[in-house]
């Protein structure tokens, strides 16, 4: 139970919150501070910042028997950040068997508070246990000096339903008046009938700890600091804007390192208390996109204002200006008529799209007649450290894992270990669906061609009868992986090594954790901010493959040359199993699309294209190869906006003829 609660708290640290205006706290001098778990040495005039926003409940209820707040100060002697977190609870301790359980607390600290994103360290503590951010979660290795408790001291005191967490953290950089650091708080209320988590600001997604907008802020002030208020509105300076501004950045004019991010209200309004001084407003977020729509704010357009003591300054409306999008020909032959000019055009397109769409890193390989005719890497593996992408850098290729797994399945078909049309339940029932009417209809053929009728992820239910339509399903691929383990008596990693990597002699094809991956894998990015290095302990065949453009090209060329499978099985792999619905097609030319076994196909004017793409959110990938003209390409990106480049690059690389083949 104790371990479960901490896992719950970790999960909750990545749940999105609604915008909050209460996200800037002011730390005052606290010379009389003693770390004893008491509040006697905290002055009465210290502001109490409430930790009240509920982000998760284990049961639907409006009853709140829990209150929490924090106070923040500092000691110049010892360069210490001082915190007092106070919770009031009717049930601070629970007894489960012979174990005593209680409420939990987590502190999120980003001392660097870098405008481009910096590492957040998470400290979790209770009367019973403590832990912090793990080594594998780091994407900024300089923060590894924080992965110990040597610079953190705390006392926890419980009395009459109240728990006091008193914390002193020795900061790495000197405390200075005006300096700002990032901070967030989570507290978990554990009651007999329910559990609730409340927060002060921290929020986000898979890699929230890299995003400066996702934390609150603490600014160091002294007794002489005076304050004023600024209010205003943020709006696009264009009509019919596709997205609403989410927030605004306010930056000290004379010290740009002192920046703050504030969400805006529904109609773009905001009101903030700040120390006296000169400031300017910048876009709170620069990239705005929804599906196919992308708009970038011009960060050179700012608006100045001044905060005066005891006064409210009206900023008026700060209008965001849209940056100009790249514009290139919609048709080209850079690969089919390859030349030095082609290289310049490819570079120009990729670099322009990377700059506008804020794509951190890209690996590209142009393919022709079984060779890589142009290979290049662009950008960075980590936007914070600026580590460059090289020919050794590895990427998550997400769902491109599926055709490599399909290849392994077909190898076992050739060996008569599994049959494409034998119902899979006869090998291994799937507990989650075995009582459903269509469960006994699933076969390897239907799984590999996405005809099971099962959804991609989530609750498993049949959306249609197996074999009567296309429904993309990673979950069904996972099930087929378990079937292979059952009938071979081998784990899936061994199967993939023996049936894919070894027979095709593929280099840098990794399906699970490996030292080379730890050293060379790129960081994925969400909205410009890097995340940790994810390495699966066990392969998940729907999307775990980590490789580079050259490694993936070897697999593509193996398919081109029909290596490793019998001619009959290759015919099955390339045969049309099911047509792709129009709203799910990916080609640029309006060609007919269909699904074979593990591969997507386009039947175009210049021949048959086989392809697959991948999307893990913070990684995007694609390979395409024309089986007749023998022209194709691979593009890998380590940012969530990479899709815009994936969609556009083909138009300049290879334009099919207008005549039917």
Same domain, 212 and 239: no
Same domain, 17 and 119: yes
Among residues of the chain, what percentage have pLDDT more than 70? 90
pLDDT, average across residues 32-41: 92
Same domain, 14 and 163: yes
- Least confident span in 89-98, 361-370, 409-418, 590-599: 89-98
Residue 192 maps to a domain: yes
Residue 469 maps to a domain: no
Predicted confidence (pLDDT) at residue 310 exceeds the cutoff of 60: yes
Residue 505 CB burial class (10 angstroms; 0-12, 13-18, ≥19): exposed
Where residue 138 falls among pLDDT bands split at 50, 70, 90?
A: confident
Same domain, 149 and 263: no
pLDDT of residue 268: 87
Q: Which residue has the higher pLDDT, 636 or 651?
A: 636
Same domain, 85 and 62: yes
Beta bridge partners of 282: 249
Residue 126 maps to a domain: yes
Q: Which of 306, 56, 393 is nearest to 194 (CA)?
A: 56
Q: What is the mean pLDDT of the chain?
A: 88
CATH number of the domain residue 260 falls in: 2.60.40.1120
Both tokens of residue 613? 């793409």
pLDDT of residue 209: 52
pLDDT of residue 207: 43
pLDDT of residue 239: 65
What are the DSSP calls for 230-278, one per residue? EEEEEEESSSS-SS---EEEEEETTEEEEEEEEE--TTSEEEEEEESEE
- Tell me which of 220, 253, 288 is where a domain ends: 220
Predicted confidence (pLDDT) at residue 215 exceeds the cutoff of 90: no
The number of domains in the chain is 2
Where residue 7 falls among pLDDT bands split at 50, 70, 90?
A: very low
pLDDT of residue 528: 82
Q: Which residue has the higher pLDDT, 88 or 92?
A: 88
Whole-angstrom CA distances from 99 to 79, 92, 96, 102 are 38, 14, 5, 10
pLDDT of residue 499: 98
* Ordered alpha helix ranges (H), 548-589: 549-560, 567-574
- Tell me which of 186, 220, 254 is where a domain ends: 220
What value does the CA radius of gyration of the chain take, rounded to a whole number of Å? Answer: 28
Same domain, 190 and 48: yes
Residue 343, H or E segment: helix 340-357
Where residue 13 falls among pLDDT bands split at 50, 70, 90?
A: very low
Same domain, 121 and 187: yes
Domain span at 120: 2-220
554 contact partners, CB below 8 Å, separation of at least 6: 504, 505, 506, 507
CATH number of the domain residue 72 falls in: 2.60.40.1190
Same domain, 239 and 206: no
Both tokens of residue 408? 């392994």
pLDDT, average across residues 419-431: 97
Residue 16 maps to a domain: yes
Residue 234 maps to a domain: yes
Same domain, 179 and 104: yes
Taking only the tens place, the pLDDT of each residue in 232-279 is 999 988 766 667 888 899 999 999 999 999 989 888 899 999 999 999
Predicted confidence (pLDDT) at residue 85 exceeds the cutoff of 80: yes
Count CB neighbours of 553 within 10 A: 23
Phi, psi torsion values for 5, nearest 5 degrees: -65, -40
Whole-angstrom CA distances from 215 to 136, 364, 499 are 21, 35, 46
Where residue 324 falls among pLDDT bands split at 50, 70, 90?
A: confident
pLDDT of residue 204: 45
CA 340/CA 630 separation, integer angstroms = 20
Among residues of the chain, what percentage have pLDDT more than 90? 67
Where residue 202 falls among pLDDT bands split at 50, 70, 90?
A: low
pLDDT of residue 118: 84
Predicted confidence (pLDDT) at residue 208 exceeds the cutoff of 50: no
Residue 625 maps to a domain: no
Three-state DSSP string of 429-483: CCCCCCCCCCHHHCCHHHHHCCCCCCCCCCCCCCCCCCCCCCCCCHHHHHHHHHH
Count CB neighbours of 554 within 10 A: 16
Same domain, 205 and 105: yes
pLDDT of residue 83: 98
489 contact partners, CB below 8 Å, separation of at least 6: none
- Least confident span in 113-127, 132-146, 304-318: 132-146
pLDDT of residue 593: 94
Residue 145 maps to a domain: yes
pLDDT, average across residues 359-366: 97
Taking only the tens place, the pLDDT of each residue in 460-500 is 999 999 999 999 999 999 999 999 999 999 999 999 999 99
Same domain, 97 and 203: yes
Residue 378, H or E segment: strand 371-382
pLDDT, average across residues 309-324: 92
Helix (H, G, I), strand (E, B) or coil at 122: strand
- Least confident span in 42-51, 93-102, 277-286, 614-623: 93-102
Residue 356 maps to a domain: no
Same domain, 35 and 72: yes
pLDDT of residue 159: 82
Predicted confidence (pLDDT) at residue 1 exceeds the cutoff of 60: no
- Tell me which of 286, 320, 354 is where a domain ends: 320
């Amino acid at each position: 139970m104790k371990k479960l609660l901490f896992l719950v708290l970790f999960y909750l640290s990545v749940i999105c919150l609604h915008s909050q205006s209460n996200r800037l706290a002011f730390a005052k001098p606290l010379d009389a501070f003693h770390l004893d778990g008491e509040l006697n040495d905290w002055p009465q005039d210290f502001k109490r910042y409430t930790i009240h926003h509920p982000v998760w409940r284990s049961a639907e209820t409006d009853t709140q028997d829990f209150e929490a707040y924090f106070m923040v100060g500092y000691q110049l002697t010892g360069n210490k950040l001082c915190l007092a977190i106070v919770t009031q609870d009717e049930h601070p301790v629970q007894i489960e068997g012979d174990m005593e359980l209680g409420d939990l607390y987590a502190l999120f600290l980003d001392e660097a508070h870098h405008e481009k994103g910096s590492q957040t360290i998470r400290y979790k503590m209770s009367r019973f246990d403590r832990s912090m951010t793990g080594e594998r979660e780091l994407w900024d290795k300089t923060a590894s000096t924080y992965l110990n408790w040597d610079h953190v001291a705390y006392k926890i005191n419980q009395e009459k339903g109240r728990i006091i967490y008193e914390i002193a953290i020795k900061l790495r950089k000197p405390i200075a008046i005006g300096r700002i650091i990032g901070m967030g708080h989570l507290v978990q209320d554990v009651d007999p009938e329910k559990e609730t988590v409340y927060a002060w600001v921290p929020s986000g997604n898979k890699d929230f700890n890299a995003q400066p907008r996702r934390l609150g802020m603490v600014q160091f002030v002294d007794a002489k600091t005076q304050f004023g208020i600024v209010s205003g509105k943020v709006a696009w300076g264009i009509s019919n804007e596709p997205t609403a501004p989410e927030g605004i950045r306010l930056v000290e004019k004379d010290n740009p390192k002192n920046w703050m991010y504030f969400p805006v209200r529904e109609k773009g309004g905001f009101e903030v208390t700040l120390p006296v001084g000169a400031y300017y407003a910048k876009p709170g977020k620069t990239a705005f996109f929804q599906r196919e729509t992308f708009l970038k704010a011009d960060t050179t357009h700012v608006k100045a204002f001044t905060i005066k003591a005891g006064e409210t300054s009206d900023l008026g409306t700060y209008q965001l200006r849209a940056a100009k999008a790249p514009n290139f020909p919609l048709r080209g032959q850079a690969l089919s008529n390859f030349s030095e000019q082609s290289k310049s055009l490819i570079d120009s397109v990729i670099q322009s799209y990377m700059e506008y769409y804020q794509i951190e890193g890209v690996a590209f390989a142009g393919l022709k007649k079984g060779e890589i005719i142009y290979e290049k890497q662009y950008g960075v593996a980590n936007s914070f450290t600026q580590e460059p992408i090289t020919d050794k850098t590895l990427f998550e290729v997400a769902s491109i894992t599926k055709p490599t797994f399909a290849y392994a399945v077909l190898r076992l078909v050739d060996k008569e270990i599994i049959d494409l049309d034998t119902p899979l339940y006869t090998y291994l029932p799937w507990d989650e669906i075995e009582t459903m009417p269509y469960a006994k209809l699933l076969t390897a053929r239907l799984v590999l061609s996405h005809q099971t009728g099962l959804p991609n992820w989530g609750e498993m239910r049949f959306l249609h009868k197996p074999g009567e339509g296309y429904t993309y399903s990673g979950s069904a691929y996972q099930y087929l992986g378990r079937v292979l383990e059952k009938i071979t008596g081998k784990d899936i990693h061994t199967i993939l090594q023996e049936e894919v990597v070894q027979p095709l002699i593929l280099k840098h094809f990794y399906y699970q954790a490996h030292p080379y991956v730890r050293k060379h894998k790129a960081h994925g990015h969400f909205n410009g901010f890097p995340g940790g290095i994810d390495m699966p302990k066990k392969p998940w065949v729907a999307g775990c493959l980590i490789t580079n453009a050259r490694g993936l090209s070897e697999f593509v060329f193996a398919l081109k040359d029909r290596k490793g499978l019998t001619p009959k099985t290759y015919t099955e792999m390339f045969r049309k199993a099911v047509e792709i619905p129009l709203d799910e097609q990916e080609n640029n030319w309006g060609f007919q699309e269909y699904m074979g076994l593990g591969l997507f196909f386009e039947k175009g004017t210049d021949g048959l294209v086989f392809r697959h793409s991948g999307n893990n959110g913070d990684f995007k990938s694609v390979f395409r190869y024309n089986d007749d003209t023998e022209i194709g390409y691979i593009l890998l990106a380590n940012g969530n906006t990479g899709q815009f480049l994936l969609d556009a690059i083909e138009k300049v690389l290879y334009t099919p003829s207008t005549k039917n083949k």
